Amino acid sequence: MSTQPAAKPRINSAFKQLMSLHWVMSACYLVLFTSGTSMARLPGELFIRGPLYDFHKSVGVLTMALLTLRILTLLRVWWKKYTKRLPKFTKEWYKNFALHVSLYFFMWLVPVAGFLLTNSYKNNNVKFFGILLPDLFPQDSAMVEVGSSLHFWLAYTFLAFVILHILDKKKVVRANWRRLTNFVGTKFAKPQKVG
C-alpha cells in the first residue's frame, strides 16, 4: 500500500485576488493609522498638516474603493464555494464569521465617520489625490465634534478587532513574517569576502 502525500488545496485566481487585496488593504490601514495619529498631534499652523490630512483622506477613499472590490470578490468566492457545499456551521465557523463581519463593518464605518467629520467641517473638503469628490454630508459645525468622536473611537475599536484578527491568525502571521525576513535576508545580505 503506497502512501501518497496529501494534495494541496487548489488556490483559484479569485482567492489569490482576495488575498492580494487583503495585503494591499492591510498596508493602507497601517498608513491610515500612522498618518491619523501623527496628524492629530501636529500644531494647526504647521505647513505639513494640510497636505498630510489630504493624503490621509485620499488613502481613506482608496480603501473604500478597495473594500468594494474586495466585497465583490468575496461574494464571488463564496458563491463558487457554497453553491457546491455549505460550510459546517461549527462554533469555530461562527466565531470566524462574526470576527470577519465585524472587520468589514469597521472597514466601512470608519471612513464614513471620516467623511462625516470632514464634510461637517467644510464643504468640498475631500479630494482623492487632487480630484475633488462630492460631499456625503452637509456642512454643519454642530456635527464636527460628533464626527471627530465617532471617527476616533471607531478607528481604535477597529484597531482592537484587527489585533484580535492577528492573534486569531498567529500561525499565518508567523509564517508570513518568516517568509519576509528570509526574503529580506537573502536579497540584502552582504556578500561574503573570499580569501
pLDDT tens digits, one per residue of 89-130: 889 889 989 999 999 999 999 999 999 999 999 999 899 999
**CB-based burial, 130-154: b 16+ in 10 Å, e otherwise:** eeeeebeeeeeeebbeebbebbbeb
CA 68, chain centre distance (Å): 12
Length of the chain: 195
Residue 109, beta-bridge partner list? none
Q: What is the pLDDT of residue 148?
A: 92
Q: Mind listing the pLDDT tens digit of every residue in the chain (195 residues)? A: 545 555 555 556 877 888 889 999 999 999 999 999 888 888 878 888 888 999 999 999 999 999 999 999 888 888 877 778 888 888 988 998 999 999 999 999 999 999 999 999 999 989 999 999 999 999 999 999 999 999 999 999 999 999 999 998 888 878 878 887 887 778 776 666 655
Overall pTM surpassing 0.75 (yes/no): yes
- Burial of residue 113, with CB atoms counted within 10 A of its CB: 0-12 exposed, 13-18 middle, 19 or more buried: buried
Name beta bridge partners: 132. 127
